[in-house]
Amino acid sequence: MPRVGGATPTTEPAGSGRRGGAASRPAGKGREIRYYDGRVVPKDFLALCAPQNTLKLPFWRSESSSIRLSTILPESRPVASGEVVATFQFADLAAREELTQQVNRLTAKRDESLLGLRKNLVDLEAKLEKARLKERAAAIDLGRKSTLSQQKAALLDIEFRLATHERTSLEHKLAAAQDNLRRTAAILDANIRSWNNHFVSFDRTRDRYAVKAPAAGTLFYPTIDKQKRKIIPGDEINSGLHFLSVVTSDRVEIQFFVPEADLGLVRPGGRVRVAFDGRERPGVITGVGFFPQRVGDVQGTFALPNAWEKCFVVRADLEGAATLGTNNLVRVRLRP
């Protein structure tokens, strides 16, 4: 008989002291009583999953498939939409310090580079002003060339043209230096902005480690199959695992797991007996999964010896009122 969820269909009800027995007990006229592992779950809920435990920055890469729970609000507590209900351990705080240091280094380098360019700009402006004064003096001398000899007049003309050329050359150099200053400042500022944007990525990643309620409701802890119990602070679980539910109504149902070989024994409308809280209660099957799933997938762990075997998830409603309790594990048997 295939073993599902760490327990083979057995003859023993919940609380009998025996789990996972391989034998089945005849139940009159040669029929067997089969028990399957199951759990009480809310019908209307929003699943909260463990966040991804990764941080990727140009200078920092941290990645893990598991994550550790730090805090969680008590089960059955009402919560408001947007309220933080659980936090997970964030081990990369040093990345923000490294990012701050890198931005500070880039800012200092930018300031030093621009200071040198501005100093060169001031020197060019001073030289240009001298060249303009020299050109103006040459123009005054050139205005007296009619009273001078032809040779002297020619020399004055040359001096004026040289002064004009020097002034024009310095104007071009000054314009180029100003343009270089603007371009360099833009490039360095863009580089700093790019690194500052990593603060946004860092903060968003860190915020992911605080899980918030997506809607108002009541907290319910599903059983973590790997631990065979509900989650507690300090547990390390796989990222993406459903660890907490926000229940939005009072309706509940039973989910139990039937091996693929026993699929012919279950059908919608079939009667079951659900053993929990020290007694059995009647119920009716409301649905059977369309496709078989691996036991490891539905139980959240592939450490089980039958993790790669197939099973179907079967849903059932209890007759009468039922509430979620701190122990939501049950045993389900098919009624002959």
Alpha-helix runs per DSSP H in the chain: 93-142, 150-207, 295-299
pLDDT band, residue 226 (cuts 50/70/90): low
Q: Which CATH architecture has domain 94-204?
A: Orthogonal Bundle (1.10)
Bigger pLDDT: 147 or 109?
109
Q: How far apart are CA 229 and CA 196, in angstroms?
A: 43
pLDDT at 4 over 70: no
Q: Mean of the pLDDT values across residues 50-58?
A: 89
Can you read off the two tokens belonging to residue 108? 């200092």
For the entire predicted model, the pTM comes to 0.60
Closest CA to 256 of 317, 303, 307: 317
Q: How far apart are CA 258 and CA 37, in angstroms?
A: 8
If you ran DSSP here, which 8-state letter would residue 307 be given? T
pLDDT at 278 over 80: no
pLDDT band, residue 336 (cuts 50/70/90): low
Q: How far apart are CA 275 and CA 333, in angstroms?
A: 8
In this structure, whether the domain defined by 1-44+249-336 belongs to CATH 2.40.30.170 is answered with yes
Q: How far apart are CA 195 and CA 212, in angstroms?
A: 28
Closest CA to 170 of 137, 139, 126, 205: 126
Q: What is the pLDDT of residues 237-273, one digit of tens each?
A: 999 989 999 999 888 899 998 988 888 888 999 999 9
Q: How far apart are CA 115 and CA 127, in angstroms?
A: 19
pLDDT band, residue 71 (cuts 50/70/90): very high
Domain range annotation of the chain: 1-44+249-336, 94-204
Q: What is the pLDDT of residues 130-174, one digit of tens each?
A: 877 777 777 776 666 655 566 676 777 777 777 777 788 878 888
Q: How far apart are CA 77 and CA 74, in angstroms?
A: 6
Chain-wide mean pLDDT for the chain? 80
Q: What is the pLDDT of residues 13-41, one digit of tens each?
A: 444 443 333 234 444 454 566 788 888 88
